Amino acid sequence: MLISELDTTTALATDTSRPPRHYLPEEFYVTDWATLEPFFQELQTRVLPDAAALEQWLLDRSELEAMLSEDLAWRYIRMTCDTQDESRAESFQFFVQEIEPQVAPYDHALNEKLLAAP
C-alpha cells in the first residue's frame, strides 16, 4: 500500500488521554519544587514490609516518574513549536535547571531503596 493511499485521519489519530492517577492528585502539575518534593519524601520514607507494599511503591514511583517525564516532554514540545514565545523557553529551562537537579538525588536514593528491599 502506498502512503498516498492511507487514510491519514485514522492512521495518525492517537489517544493522548492519560490513565487515571492513583498516587498523585489528578490535576497536579509541576509549578515548583516545594509542591513536588513531598511525593519523593513519602516514597523515600515509606516502609515496605512485604511484596505487596513493594509492588504498590513501584507503581507509585512509576506514576510520579511518568508525570515528570510527560511534563518535561510537553514543555519541550511547546518550546520548539513556538520559538518566539520566551515564556515557553523559560518554562522548559525552569524544569531543566530547577526541577531535574532536585530530582536526581531522590532518584538515586529510591534506586538504593529498591535494591535494599527484601
Residue with cell 520559538: 83
User: In angstroms, rounded to a whole number, what is the distance separating the alpha carbons of residues 60 and 63?
Assistant: 5
pTM listed for this prediction: 0.83
Average confidence score pLDDT of the chain: 89
Cell of residue 100, nine digits: 531535574
Closest CA to 36 of 118, 116, 106, 84: 106
User: In angstroms, rounded to a whole number, what is the distance separating the alpha carbons of residues 31 and 44?
Assistant: 21
**Is 80 exceeded by the pLDDT of residue 2?**
no
Report DSSP letters for 85-100, one per residue.
Answer: -HHHHHHHHHIIIIIH
CB neighbour class for 75 (10 Å; exposed up to 12, middle 13-18, buried from 19): buried
Instruction: Give the per-residue pLDDT at 68.
Output: 97
**Is 50 exceeded by the pLDDT of residue 111?**
yes
- pLDDT tens for each residue of 31-75: 999 999 999 999 999 999 999 999 999 999 999 999 999 999 999
CB 109 within 8 A of CB 57: no
Instruction: Give the per-residue pLDDT at 13.
Output: 52
